[in-house]
């Protein structure tokens, strides 16, 4: 019988900030989205003040001011590195693991029958917290969905102490009654309303629901969900994540932009980021789509896009920048003030399966050497140390994402290492 442990980092972004600033312990802390627009992570103390997930900063300024809430901009370099440290630590405790998100992982404990799984979970929890400083909660059960439920209860139950094992089924019914149907993994907002209308209010009632009723509305996915709640495992570990179908890089500007030159710089920067992701994942793109959007609150709301088919699948930054800029020029409308620009790289294939073309005008060998050199320099000296001139060099670029409250990149930049003593 399979046994899964879901390890979830508590308030992950906030916890990362606290590792390097212990004075934040016990204080309300929030981390903001791009352009410092809204709260995307909250400490328990901030949640207790009524700060909701996604709350716009302008709506909670008074709460921040009156309660000395500590505010931080998102520091993705720090969070990504801390996530890798957590995942490397977890990998020591299981032969199989699925990294589910930046702050969650499923561990396979199927062959740990002779162990006290609660004690083993506490050992995992203690080790992660000692080695990385990140607090975690662990839910253990016979299916992924039940492990999610166990994790949720472990996080909020003082009695569980951060680890809850439901794999023997002893307290499963009681646990399911304690979780709202709307909070079950895989139940979206639309389906939550459907269940509520039928008086299916908690996970136990959902487990015991009529299969035909669930199948009619939620299809085969709904039946799998019922089976998972009944202890029948339908989802195995995904140790090798499926190949991406697309890479999206888009940003909403703090202030609207009318200048074509600024928009061209922005799209060049986003393509550079997307191309770097392609190369890191050893992929090449055969199509690029440029998207341009005005504010949806304006009367002349406008959303345009253009797809460009590439002659040969590529991850060459210069080639992709050229295509994106050509596409942007064709959809740009003078006089409009744009709020968002983005690019999508799709028709992706592994780089070693790209078909050559006799009509290819690009020296691919030279291109590969140049891209490797750029990536090596940026890996060594920091992202953006070397970049294409199309991105621009002005400090006053209005399209750049604002991070006014960002902490140092303590673990990824030599010049920002924390000082001790």
* CATH at 47: 3.40.1170.60
Cβ(224)–Cβ(234) under 8 Å? yes
Domain termination site, one of 78, 95, 121: 78
Domain span including residue 313: 246-391
What pLDDT is recorded for position 238? 85
User: Is 400 a domain residue?
Assistant: no
Which residues are CB-contacts of 336 (< 8 A; sequence separation ≥ 6)?
258, 294, 300, 302
Give the pTM.
Answer: 0.80
Residue 359 confidence (pLDDT) = 66
β-pairing, 283-294 vs 246-257, is unpaired
Cβ contact 227:220 at 8 Å: no
Domain boundary among 168, 201, 229: 229
What local confidence, expressed as pLDDT, does residue 394 receive?
56
Q: What whole-number distance in Å separates Cα of residue 70 and Cα of residue 93?
A: 35
Longest dimension (CA), the chain: 70
Let me know whether 252 and 386 are in one domain.
Answer: yes
Residue 406 lies in a domain: no
Specify if 175 maps to a domain. yes
The verdict on 352 and 386 lying in the same domain is: yes
CATH code of the domain in which 205 resides: 3.30.70.270
Are residues 146 and 181 both part of a single domain? yes
Does one domain contain both 219 and 85?
A: yes
Residues 57 and 92 in one domain: no
Find how far residue 170's CA is from the centre of its chain: 34
Residue 260 exposed, middle or buried by CB count within 10 Å (0-12, 13-18, 19+): middle
- Count the domains in the chain: 3
CB of 73 closer than 8 Å to CB of 406: yes
- State whether 45 and 121 are in the same domain: no
- Kind of pairing between the strands at 29-32 and 70-73: parallel
- Report pLDDT for 397: 64
Nearest to 48 by CA among 11, 102, 79: 11
> Which CATH number belongs to the domain containing residue 251 in this structure?
3.30.1490.100
**Dihedrals phi, psi of 364, to nearest 5 degrees:** -65, -35
Question: Is residue 149 included in any domain, yes or no?
Answer: yes
Tens digit of each residue's pLDDT, the chain (421 residues) = 899 999 999 999 999 999 999 999 999 999 998 888 899 999 999 999 999 999 999 999 999 999 999 999 999 989 999 999 999 999 999 999 999 999 999 999 998 877 899 999 999 999 999 999 999 999 999 999 999 999 999 998 888 889 999 998 888 999 999 999 999 998 988 899 999 989 999 999 999 999 999 999 899 999 999 999 999 999 999 877 777 899 999 888 888 899 999 999 999 999 999 999 999 999 999 999 999 999 888 888 999 999 999 989 999 999 999 999 999 999 999 999 999 999 999 999 998 887 776 667 777 888 889 999 998 988 877 777 788 888 876 555 666 766 778 888 888 877 788 877 6
The whole-number pLDDT of residue 300 equals: 83
317 and 260 in one domain? yes
Say what the pLDDT of residue 201 is.
Answer: 94
Whether residue 322 is contained in a domain is answered as yes
Please calculate the CA angle 325-323-402 and round it to the nearest 5 degrees.
45
Q: Which of 179, 199, 229 is the last residue of a domain?
A: 229
- For residues 349 and 384, membership in a common domain is answered with yes
Sheet of 29-32, strand order: 39-42, 29-32, 70-73
Q: Is there a domain that residue 186 lies in?
A: yes
Cα-based angle 171, 180, 46 (whole degrees, multiple of 5): 105
Q: For position 401, what pLDDT does the model report?
A: 67
Q: Is residue 239 part of a domain?
A: no
- Residue 234 resides in a domain: no
State the pLDDT at residue 293: 94
User: Are 94 and 187 in a shared domain?
Assistant: yes
70 and 152 in one domain? no
Same-domain check for residues 43 and 137: no
> In terms of domains, do 46 and 156 share one?
no
């Amino acid at each position: 019988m399979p046994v899964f442990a879901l390890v979830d980092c508590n308030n992950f972004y906030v916890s990362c900030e606290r590792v390097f600033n212990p004075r934040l312990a016990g204080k309300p802390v929030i981390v903001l989205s791009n352009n410092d627009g809204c709260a995307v992570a909250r400490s328990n103390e901030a949640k207790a003040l009524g700060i909701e997930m996604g709350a716009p900063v302008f709506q909670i300024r008074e709460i921040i001011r009156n309660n000395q809430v500590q505010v931080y901009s998102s520091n993705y370099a720090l969070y990504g590195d801390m996530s890798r440290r957590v995942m490397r630590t977890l990998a020591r405790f299981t032969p199989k693991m699925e990294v589910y998100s930046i702050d969650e992982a499923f561990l396979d404990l199927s062959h740990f029958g002779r162990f006290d799984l609660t004690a083993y979970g506490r050992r995992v929890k203690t080790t992660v917290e000692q080695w990385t400083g990140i607090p975690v909660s662990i839910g253990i059960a016979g299916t992924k969905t039940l492990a999610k439920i166990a994790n949720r209860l472990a996080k909020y139950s003082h009695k569980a102490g951060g680890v809850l094992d439901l794999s023997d089924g002893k307290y499963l019914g009681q646990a399911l009654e304690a979780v709202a149907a709307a909070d079950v993994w895989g139940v979206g907002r639309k389906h939550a309303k459907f269940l509520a209308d039928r008086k299916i209010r908690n996970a136990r009632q959902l487990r015991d629901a009529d299969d035909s009723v669930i199948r009619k509305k939620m299809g085969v996915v709904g039946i799998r969900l019922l089976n998972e709640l009944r202890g029948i495992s339908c989802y195995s570990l995904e140790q090798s994540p499926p190949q991406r179908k697309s890479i999206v890089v888009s940003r909403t500007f703090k202030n609207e932009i009318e200048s074509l030159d600024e928009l061209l710089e922005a799209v060049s920067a986003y393509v550079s980021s997307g191309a770097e992701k392609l190369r890191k994942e050893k992929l090449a793109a055969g199509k690029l789509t440029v998207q341009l959007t005005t504010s949806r609150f304006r009367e002349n709301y406008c959303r345009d896009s253009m797809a460009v088919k590439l002659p040969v699948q590529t991850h060459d930054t210069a080639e992709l920048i050229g295509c994106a800029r050509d596409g942007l020029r064709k959809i740009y409308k003078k006089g409009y003030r744009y709020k968002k620009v983005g690019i999508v790289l799709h028709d992706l294939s592994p780089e070693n399966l790209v078909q050559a073309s006799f009509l290819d005008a690009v020296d691919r060998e030279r291109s590969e050497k140049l891209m490797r050199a750029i990536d090596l320099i940026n890996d060594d000296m920091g992202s953006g140390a070397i970049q294409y001139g199309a991105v621009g060099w002005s400090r006053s670029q209005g399209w750049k994402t604002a991070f006014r409250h960002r902490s140092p990149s303590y673990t990824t930049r030599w010049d920002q290492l924390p000082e001790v003593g």
